[in-house]
A and B are shown apart, each in its own frame.
Chain A
Amino acid sequence: MYKIVKKRPLAEQIFLMDIEAPRVAKSAQPGQFVILRVRDKGERIPLTICDYDREKGTVTIVTQCIGVSTHLICEHNEGDYILDFAGPLGQASELIHATDEELANKKILFVGGGVGAAPVYPQVKYLSNRGFKPDVIIGAKSKNYVILEEEMRAVSNNYYITTDDGSYGFKGMVTDKLKELVEKENKKYDLVVTIGPMIMMKFVSLLTKEYGIPTVASLNTLMVDGTGMCGACRVSIGGQTKFTCVDGPEFDAHLVDFDEAMRRQNMYRTIEGQKREELEKNHKCKIGR
């Protein structure tokens, strides 16, 4: 059992939680994820690690209540326990292998969207700790959905917010902002790291391909075990099949078959929809009220 030592709402339906998991906290690296199970009948849910504190032995996760299981997570409060919490899984970000000299010569831009801002954070923080603050674009539906703003500002060089409705920051998509930065402001980036909804990563990737900027995307595929045992997470990278949970989650975005990845992500959607309806019928959801 893993204790929730802190819970904080970040935006509507989005929560941050610090989970007591000393082994995971000790080994976690930016870019990795965990798999958790809330209750006995629950599924195994992959979530990217948002932060970790090796001393306190805690790992921070951010969830948005969208499915049956994420709802169940969000219903838990400080002091409650989560049944299973396994990790860290996947490969760490390539950046942790880069030397200071390499980092000094690299202009890096992070592009996150939605809750994708959460997994962007540990990487930006990591680079900032090493003395190389990157630029960051975070996209959200509207002002209410902007998360971790202060934290992110503190560790990034230039921090840009975009909202779909223009209620905050730049009005438009993250790709519009990226276009502006590159085409109007003549910013030169050597690497783009994008984390967020598959569709956003697809369009970021298409754009950076045009610009010839190497790009890394962190894929949030379906998963079951997260250890390479089932292949539910398989994706096509440059025509080759890879397992996101062990070979990824980060891949060269220009080689990712995003259309296939999005299609595969929806494989169980109808079933999930049915289960969710059932759940909502049987059980009044208290979240978001």
Chain B
Amino acid sequence: MAKIPRVPVREQAAQERIKNFEEVSYGYNAEEAVLEAHRCIQCKNPRCVQACPVQIKIPEFISAVKNKDFAQAADIIAEDSSLPAICGRVCPQESQCEGSCVLGVKGEPVNIGKLERFVADWGRKENYYNPTKVPTNGFKVAVIGSGPAGLACATDLAKLGYQVKIFEALHLPGGVLEYGIPEFRLPKEEVVRYEINNVIKLGVEIETNVIVGRTITIDDLLDKEGYHAIFLGSGAGLPKFMNIPGENLNGVVSANEFLTRSNLMKAFDSEYDTPIYVGKRVAVVGGGNVAMDAARVARRLGAEVYLVYRRSEKELPARVEEVHHAKEEGIIFKLLNNPVEILGNEKGWVTGMRCVEMGLGEPDESGRRRPIPIKGSEFDIDCDVVIMSLGTSPNPLIASTTPNLNTEKWGGIIIDENTSQTSREGVFAGGDNVTGAATVILAMGAGRKAAEQIDVFIKNKFGKK
């Protein structure tokens, strides 16, 4: 059976899609999914499951797809993942499940990501899930942040009967799923809103416009509002800058600002009031998913786009599929280049970016070869917008307003690995605020684990009601 070649995924043509914000990949239809499912050789000791951060029973769900029993496939995935339509679209499969698929040793791995997406999309279109409220057990849990970590934690707790309320700082729930990842990779109305509605159907309340640490404190929630436990899923939203000359010129923005304007505030649509400045030539600095997203949004808004990254292609942290799509869309990759200064005119607007070429030295702590500037190799890129995408760190707002909540120097909230509990009793945490910017699946996994531990904690401390 392994002779069947990997079933190609239908996509919007690059020339077309750079003119719109509709989804790039159409995903598999039933026929294609079943065919691709036939490629799985059903390993006895499936390495893909080991490589999945939440250990989805991959061969089992694929076997169900092969048998055209999509409902069963959906049930199997649901045992381990609460956001499959999202993860199927945005997980870095090549370094997780698909990266360890045995078929990949000699040929191409099974397209596990697209199969997962197919099953989840099938479930949504067929209205297969109809979550309902379970009777309450009388205990209240507050979840801070409505990104994947918070949503997953809230879902599991609600299913156990907890009264859960999510507090979200922004006006819309979803975290990075809403404000960061663009529509053409993750449709908002169809996928994100649907998942969030399912969480609400379970009885979870979402209160937006509440900035914990400002509007209300963790201690208020515990002491005055009567919550029995709290989960912090506040993400890592604080953008980094390079601290090079010219960074405050007009035309320099963080990728977070650029993407928030475009995704959350829908600035790409002229009916919305929020402005966005794209310019004619954009230089995006960075090589992660965020950088790819910013570059591709800028491209869709009509700019010529350069992606400047200080290491080589091999080290690009972005998903392989995104790099591939970005290239197809005409993003110009300037690899092994690093900005040293942003140039501006007398009015304070960006006119270019001075870069230096980099060589690769010995591997550093991360195991990747350290980039070293090559003396005298400076050159200028003409551009009128620079988008900085250098990573993010946890926002200190909660830590700085919650006494005795311990954090790492870089801002990460410290938790006990086994219990997910922070240094404060009854306060748990997980996702990007603990690990630093990572992935949707890891955040979701952390949220689910914390839910389990919160259940244990509340039962131990307060007994049964």
Contact = CB atoms under 8 A, between A and B. Distances in A.
A275 interface: yes
Contact of B275 (A42, A236, A275): A275
Given A229-B256, A231-B239, A37 B215 contact: no
Interface stretch (A85-93, A96-104, A132-140, A174-182): A85-93
B257 A23 contact: no
Interface residues of B, number: 41
A224 B171 contact: no
Residue with the highest number of chain B CB atoms closer than 10 Å, among A227, A268, A271:
A227
Contacts of B253: 230-232
Given A27-B215, A68-B273, A260-B248, A229 B239 contact: yes
Interface string B179-212: 1000000000000000000000000000011110
Contact of B209 (A84, A230, A263): A84
B237 A268 contact: no
Given A27-B216, A85-B209, A263-B348, A241 B241 contact: yes
A284 interface: no
Contact of A227 (B169, B257, B265): B169
B424 interface: no
Contact of B273 (A43, A83, A236, A241): A43
Given A229-B239, A229-B260, A86 B169 contact: yes
A43 B267 CA distance: 9
Interface in A17-60: 23-24, 27, 37, 41-44
A72 B239 CA distance: 31
A225 B170 contact: yes
B108 interface: no
Contacts of A260: 248, 348
Contacts of A6: none
B393 to A, nearest CB: 10
Contacts of A225: 169-170, 260
A44 to B, nearest CB: 7
B274 interface: yes
Interface string B236-251: 0111010100011011
A264 B250 contact: yes
B327 interface: no
Contacts of B216: 23, 27
A237 B261 CA distance: 25
Given A24-B215, A27-B214, A268-B277, A41 B266 contact: yes
Nearest to B274: A43
A105 B289 CA distance: 55
Contact of A234 (B169, B248, B271): B248
Nearest to B273: A43
B260 A41 contact: no
Contacts of B256: 229-231
Contacts of A42: 272-273
Residue with the highest number of chain A CB atoms closer than 10 Å, among B211, B238, B256, B276:
B211
Given A229-B395, A267-B277, A87 B214 contact: yes
Contacts of A235: 248
Given A87-B214, A236-B248, A41 B273 contact: yes
A88 B238 contact: no
B260 A89 contact: no
B254 interface: yes
Contact of A224 (B248, B251, B257): B257
B176 to A, nearest CB: 10
Given A231-B254, A267-B277, A41 B169 contact: no
B215 A227 contact: no
A255 interface: no
Contact of B238 (A85, A224, A229, A271): A229
Nearest to B211: A227
Interface of B: 169-171, 179, 208-211, 214-216, 237-239, 241, 243, 247-248, 250-251, 253-254, 256-257, 260-261, 265-266, 270-277, 347-348, 395-397
Given A86-B208, A228-B237, A278-B270, 8 more contacts: A41-B266, A43-B272, A43-B273, A225-B260, A227-B395, A241-B248, A271-B276, A271-B277
Going nearest first, the 7 A-B pairs with the smallest beta carbon separation are A230-B257, A271-B275, A86-B209, A268-B275, A43-B274, A84-B171, A229-B237
